[in-house]
Amino acid sequence: MSGEDKNKQPMRQEVTDEAIFKVTKEIVVKFIEVGRLTPSSFDQTFERVYRAIERTVRSK
């Protein structure tokens, strides 16, 4: 590995909205399975989880 390779920044792959949706769905399903989420709070919780993941993966 040359000195030039060591200084190269790793390529960041763009995260799609679909990928964020799928991860959010898995988390929310787990919340339902363990009893931490009820149908009455689903909309709010899904939105909050989605936005948190989106901020995390798209922050620079």
**Six-digit token string for 39:** 């149908």
**Res 1 pLDDT > 70:** no
The total number of structural domains that make up the chain = 1
Q: Tell me: the pLDDT tens digits for 3-55? A: 555 666 666 678 899 999 999 999 999 999 999 998 889 999 999 999 999 99
Domain that holds residue 45: 14-58
> Has residue 46 been placed in a domain?
yes
| pLDDT attached to residue 38 | 87
> Has residue 2 been placed in a domain?
no
Handedness of CA 15, 17, 41, 26 (dihedral sign): negative
| pLDDT attached to residue 58 | 87
Q: What is the largest CA-CA distance in the chain?
A: 57
> Has residue 5 been placed in a domain?
no
